[in-house]
Homo-oligomer: A and B are copies of this chain.
Amino acid sequence: MKRKTQVNIYDVAKELGVSISTVSRALNDNPKISEKTKKRVKKAADKLGFKKNILASGLMTNKTKIIGVIVPYINREFFAQAINSIEMTAFDLGYKVMICQSADSLERERINIDTLISSRVDGIIMSLSLETNDWSHLQRAIDMGIPIVFFDRVCYDIEHSTKIMVDNFSAAYRATSHLIEKGHKRIGHIGGFMKIKIFQERFNGYKKALNDNNIPLDETIVKETHLTKDDCNKAVKDILDLENPPSAVFCANNLTAITAIFYAQSIGMNVPGDLAVIGFSVDPFATLMKPSLTAVEQPSKEMGKLATERLVEELNGLAEEKATIYGKIILDTKLVVRESS
């Protein structure tokens, strides 16, 4: 079955005996067209099954109404929530989303950026891959007039861009302090990849809290992970199998926290009695599980929504040639204390 050549404005124009410009204008609600013809045109278009070819209009207008999105993995809870919110918000604002996964690979991130540029997306919302240590591909997009809004794993080294994040340092400081207030003196930390700013900051907040309470940092109960299942498992075991395991652990993400709780239980430790656990981010299971998980709640959906709204504002500003003020937007986290601590 050969792809049928589709109905275009010429067909509609012919049907009505008007010019294609009239059809185009009517379909775009141009004020210079009378209501009567608008109605006629729209009706005929519907009848013929006309669907505007966005490739053609995008070619002319230099706008596609597509937002490119790059995240490490779609199926990580935090990103799934953020993307859900991005798509919903984009939909409301009349945008579509083209979603790419970097799989935490710089190479893939580069390819994704190139693809999005080639697709002439109007703007990009992204969270950096773990490997990203060079920003030239991002700068290239911005130089081509495609604004980028970063969220969560933001890029500090790119100036003309909005960055949406939480105060990871303070959140970690608060979480650790909470454990200290509960009387813990030996507190471990299972973090993310330390080359990434947000995980550094979480680590720094943890260190500062210890320091402010005169608790020495013990490197043997601090682990770095790439947030994969295997990594988390290993880190948890490394720490809990020690002869002298910590009595509490602050985890830089929820997968680790949940893994820690179940592993602790499986080796006969009581949570929170023998081990208090704090996670990071939102997870539907945090409230369901036993014990329920104390966690620093990151507003994933709000971040997605805000990123989208912000990007669209920038896009509109660009169109009106208004100068954009770029900057950081820091959202509040909540330390939600539940049973695991």
Contact = CB atoms under 8 A, between A and B. Distances in A.
A37 interface: no
Interface string A60-102: 0010101000000111010011011001100100001111110
B87 A55 contact: no
Nearest to A88: B101
3 shortest A-B CB distances, which residue pairs?
A3-B145, A75-B84, A75-B80
A242 interface: no
A322 to B, nearest CB: 10
A320 to B, nearest CB: 11
Interface of A: 1-4, 6, 49, 51-56, 58-59, 62, 64, 66, 73-75, 77, 80-81, 83-84, 87-88, 91, 96-101, 103, 108, 114-115, 117-120, 140, 143-145, 229, 255, 258-259, 262, 265, 284-285, 288-290, 318, 321, 323-324
Given A66-B119, A258-B285, 6 more contacts: A4-B143, A66-B98, A74-B83, A87-B101, A88-B103, A259-B288
A54 B98 CA distance: 14
A51 B288 contact: no
Contact of A83 (B1, B75, B98, B258): B75
Contacts of A114: 51
A254 B80 CA distance: 17
Contacts of A120: 53-55
A253 B54 CA distance: 39
